[in-house]
Chain A
């Protein structure tokens, strides 16, 4: 809770400082900086929370106690996912309240809903990575790399498919093929929580359907991955 408070305070101070430097468009600068800062901080906090708490449960064997009762692994997973999604919703709502000091309410609501959809993917991913890697640093690093690549995959695949110079080497062919392959597997997160909505307003509401579908599809895929690894773990030895 203290961390959350500190993050929000730092975001407000940083954006206020930047706006004070500006000679014009103070509100837009403040809004975009605060949104960018809160977005990344929220992803960091939620992934850190999920990874560390689940790893602790695995290490202190409390997960073994739960699974030794009549609770199935599927139910345990769904309960955990639901609980963390509730926390994620709280983050998105709280950040929305912070942004509403500077932005108009409709844009802020749109941004917050989209940010929640983004956090749904991050939450599912964090749980999946815990069951896959079983260690905090590795799982956390995997989540952050995944997030960074997913937010840039649209630009990366466009740059790879439109090189400035003609491709000559095997390495360049490999890299453009690899980026194209990644773009099939990763969610296009750069469509989510667009700062332009806050600054210029939401121009096209259909983008929310895209975001909603992508979020649900990817949460399903990551739940499949997490459950697959979860069912393979033997907690009783």
Chain B
């Protein structure tokens, strides 16, 4: 089939083409301001459904749900602020994703860095509770998220006792493989709380019991202890 020149095309065809394209563009413009209605998160189904839907590929299902949940705040024509999402359901979805793939760091990262960044302390607290629960289940894997939670509790919630609780858990339950900045978070928080005597006792105890083998950490703690001792009594 050879091509015939464009001049062979009847005018009504060109007119139809232009009319169709013009109407489509105009229609799109009209429909862009569409009827946006926000809907809330539904309760997730059991992991088995997502396994079946992903043809028995739970990793794929988990990754797909990661992206879906993350973009849930943006629905057709509307953007829901995170602080209007139902956080109990968000937690259910995050747990469901982790049930499909417990090695997936995305839900933990989203909990600490997306959902816990809202200006609603109750919702932030829910996310921190979720992170703490996950840490309790597997401290070795989830210690970095609890460290995040301690920082959020300290700086965002300004709830130093809560931050100290997380920091204490980190140093006592996360094992020896976590970096000392994470283990020593409790020292910083204790200092912020003005608990200088407790802090001195703690550092002194750590150094005396020989629990710490890293020479840099020992030097850091000795230096902090010297600074604290040099401080005048309040």
* Residue of A whose beta carbon sits closest to that of B71: A159
Cβ contacts A51-63/B at 8 Å (1 or 0 each): 0000000100000
Cβ contacts B11-50/A at 8 Å (1 or 0 each): 0111011111101110110010001000000000000110
Name the one of B13, B25, B79 contacting A228, with C-beta atoms under 8 angstroms. Answer: B13
Q: Does B8 lie at the interface of the complex (its beta carbon under 8 Å from any beta carbon of A)?
A: yes
Please report the total number of A residues contacting B with Cβ < 8 Å.
Answer: 37
Query: Do most interface residues of chain B lie in helix, strand or loop, or is the interface mixed?
Result: helix
Q: Does A80 lie at the interface of the complex (its beta carbon under 8 Å from any beta carbon of B)?
A: no
Q: Can you list 27 residue pairs at the A/B interface with Cβ under 8 Å?
A: A18-B52, A21-B48, A58-B1, A74-B10, A74-B12, A74-B13, A154-B76, A183-B28, A184-B25, A214-B31, A217-B24, A218-B20, A220-B20, A221-B20, A221-B21, A224-B16, A225-B17, A227-B9, A227-B13, A228-B9, A228-B13, A231-B4, A232-B6, A233-B1, A233-B4, A234-B1, A235-B1
- Docked complex: A154-203 residues within 8 A CB-CB of B: 154-155, 158-159, 162, 164, 183-185, 187-188, 190
B-chain residues with CB within 8 Å of residue A225 when the two chains form the complex: 17, 20
User: By the criterion CB–CB under 8 Å, are B4 and A234 in contact?
Assistant: yes
Query: Do most interface residues of chain A lie in helix, strand or loop, or is the interface mixed?
Result: helix
B-chain residues with CB within 8 Å of residue A222 when the two chains form the complex: 20
How long is the Cα–Cα vector from A217 to B28 in the complex, in angstroms?
Answer: 11
B-chain residues with CB within 8 Å of residue A154 when the two chains form the complex: 76
User: By the criterion CB–CB under 8 Å, are B74 and A223 in contact?
Assistant: no
How long is the Cα–Cα vector from A218 to B20 in the complex, in angstroms?
Answer: 7
* Residue of A whose beta carbon sits closest to that of B79: A162
User: By the criterion CB–CB under 8 Å, are B24 and A218 in contact?
Assistant: yes
Shortest Cβ distance from residue A157 to the other chain B in the assembled complex, whole angstroms: 9
How long is the Cα–Cα vector from A155 to B27 in the complex, in angstroms?
Answer: 18
User: By the criterion CB–CB under 8 Å, are A162 and B74 in contact?
Assistant: yes
Q: Does A210 lie at the interface of the complex (its beta carbon under 8 Å from any beta carbon of B)?
A: yes
Known interface pairs A158-B76, A227-B16; A232-B9 also in contact (CB < 8 Å): yes
Q: Does A237 lie at the interface of the complex (its beta carbon under 8 Å from any beta carbon of B)?
A: yes
* Residue of B whose beta carbon sits closest to that of A203: B37
User: By the criterion CB–CB under 8 Å, are B9 and A237 in contact?
Assistant: no
How long is the Cα–Cα vector from A227 to B15 in the complex, in angstroms?
Answer: 11
Known interface pairs A188-B31, A225-B17, A233-B3; A220-B10 also in contact (CB < 8 Å): no
* Residue of A whose beta carbon sits closest to that of B2: A234
Closest 10 CB pairs of A and B: A221-B20, A224-B17, A224-B16, A220-B20, A227-B13, A234-B2, A231-B9, A217-B23, A224-B20, A162-B74
User: By the criterion CB–CB under 8 Å, are A237 and B27 in contact?
Assistant: no
Q: Does A27 lie at the interface of the complex (its beta carbon under 8 Å from any beta carbon of B)?
A: no
Q: Does A134 lie at the interface of the complex (its beta carbon under 8 Å from any beta carbon of B)?
A: yes
Shortest Cβ distance from residue B73 to the other chain A in the assembled complex, whole angstroms: 8
User: By the criterion CB–CB under 8 Å, are A217 and B1 in contact?
Assistant: no
User: By the criterion CB–CB under 8 Å, are A214 and B4 in contact?
Assistant: no
User: By the criterion CB–CB under 8 Å, are B27 and A213 in contact?
Assistant: yes
User: By the criterion CB–CB under 8 Å, are A223 and B16 in contact?
Assistant: yes
Shortest Cβ distance from residue A85 to the other chain B in the assembled complex, whole angstroms: 17
* Residue of A whose beta carbon sits closest to that of B5: A232
How long is the Cα–Cα vector from A218 to B23 in the complex, in angstroms?
Answer: 8
How long is the Cα–Cα vector from A199 to B77 in the complex, in angstroms?
Answer: 23
Q: Which of B18, B24, B79 has the most CB atoms of chain A within a 10 A radius of its CB?
A: B24
B-chain residues with CB within 8 Å of residue A190 when the two chains form the complex: 76
Q: Does B70 lie at the interface of the complex (its beta carbon under 8 Å from any beta carbon of A)?
A: yes
* Residue of B whose beta carbon sits closest to that of A124: B20
Known: A221-B23, A224-B20. 16 other contacts (CB 8 A): A162-B71, A162-B79, A164-B70, A184-B25, A213-B27, A214-B27, A217-B23, A220-B19, A220-B23, A223-B16, A231-B9, A232-B8, A233-B1, A233-B4, A234-B1, A237-B2
